[in-house]
Amino acid sequence: MDSACHVLLVEDDNVTLKTVEALLRKCNYRVTTAANGREAMAVLAQSDQKVDLILTDILMPEVCAQVSTRPQYSAAELAELAPLHHPSVCFLKCRVCT
């Protein structure tokens, strides 16, 4: 059984996503990536994937559910909804300045 911490990395900028993913893997974390809140929620809904930490961009674009049939989730919504699937998950919101 793999004891490495499983990080769900949520980032809409592909360059930042790949850079942070590589850094986390180099530190021996298991990493699953999501390009937006919708993808992150899909990962969290999979009961076979225990997630220990969600590391997310605080400024991800947000789309209202009334406008789209496939809603996005903001970082704040992820923080609120993630424990429904993973009660012990930790949550870290970050802002990347370039």
Indicate whether 78 pLDDT > 90. Answer: no
Question: Going from the N-terminus, what domains does the chain have, and what CATH number goes with each?
Answer: 6-94 (3.40.50.2300)
Distances (CA, A) of 5 to 31, 32, 70: 8, 11, 30
Banded model confidence at residue 38, pLDDT cuts 50, 70, 90: confident
Banded model confidence at residue 69, pLDDT cuts 50, 70, 90: very low
The pLDDT value given to residue 92: 66
Residue with the two structure tokens 């919101």: 93
The pLDDT value given to residue 67: 39
The rounded mean pLDDT for the chain is 76
Which segments within 1-79 are labelled E, that is strand?
A: 6-10, 30-34, 53-57
From the list 46, 17, 48, 47, the residue with the least C-alpha distance to 33 is: 17
The pLDDT value given to residue 21: 96
